[in-house]
Amino acid sequence: MHEATRLNRFKMAAEVTGAQVVTAVTTDAALDYISERLAGALLLPNIAAARTHRLADGLRERGCSVIDRALRKHAAEAEAGLTCADFAIAETGTLVLESTAEDVRLASTLPPKHFVIFSPQALVDDALDAVPLLRRFQQRTPASYLAYITGPSRTADIERVLTIGVHGPKELHILLCDELTCGEDS
């Protein structure tokens, strides 16, 4: 599938689930977007040392309160979390995060808002195309955690009354940004 078609398919699928998908071409644009939507503290796990430092500094320069240490202690009071998706699946609008580190799990599941930085270059068509990527994760760390995130948290009671944000973030903001990729430090 052509890259632009794949990206459009991802955007449509993610937006159908309630996610907000934004093209933030530069790091500064991504940080501006986050800071404009943040009134409280933001959890920032150590994604990669230099990248985390750059994001934390950029958000602090914009007046944001960033928690990048002792996330467990502050998780309950945070308004948002910021993580990085390792890849995504266009067919379902699903983000996949390597979340072996507890801080990544805290930032992606506890605050009411979740901002995810994602490089469109790490987009696959469907779950079958994700298999080689999943094998790489398994080879690298056999006991690793992977989080599949498709839209904001959704739950329903026995009468099928849908509620958003009860068991996870109420808002999911996906920031498409080529400058900030996952993996090795950049």
Instruction: Give the pLDDT of the chain (186 residues) as one tens digit per residue.
Output: 688 899 999 999 999 999 999 987 788 999 999 999 999 999 999 876 667 788 999 999 999 999 999 999 999 899 999 999 999 999 999 999 988 889 999 999 999 999 999 899 999 999 999 999 989 888 887 767 889 999 887 777 777 776 776 677 889 999 998 876 555 444
User: What is d(CA 105, CA 33) in angstroms, rounded to the nearest whole number?
Assistant: 22
* Domains recognised in the chain with CATH numbers: 3-176 (3.40.50.10420)
Q: Would you state the structure tokens that stand for residue 48, as one six-digit string?
A: 């990669």
Supply the Cα-derived Rg of the chain in whole angstroms.
16
Q: What integer pLDDT is reported at residue 185 of this predicted model?
A: 46
Q: What pTM does this model have?
A: 0.90
Q: Which residue has the tokens 């950029």?
A: 58
- Which strands form 80-84's sheet, in the order they lie side by side? 20-23, 171-176, 113-118, 80-84, 41-43, 65-67
